[in-house]
């Protein structure tokens, strides 16, 4: 088998994966931005979780009661 062809194919597959991952990342950032603008979630509260994670801290989001 031609090793030059395999190496070229590997490079194109790597580039395709890189582009796909970049599209997924930007899509996720766009989703977070739109949901925060619409008022569905406040991601700044979730960012504070790393700094304020004691047992006595108030919950970020109330849980729904199960019936």
Rg of the Cα trace of the chain? 21
| Helices and strands (H, E) in the chain, number of each type | 2, 0
Average pLDDT, the chain: 86
Mean pLDDT of 30-39: 89
pLDDT of residue 67: 62
pTM assigned to the model: 0.61
């Amino acid at each position: 088998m031609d090793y030059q062809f395999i190496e070229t194919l590997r490079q194109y597959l790597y580039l395709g994966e890189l582009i796909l991952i970049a599209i997924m990342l930007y899509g996720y950032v766009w989703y977070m931005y739109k949901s925060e603008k619409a008022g569905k979630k406040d991601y700044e509260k979730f960012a504070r979780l790393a700094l304020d994670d004691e047992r006595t801290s108030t919950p970020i989001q109330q849980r729904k009661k199960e019936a």
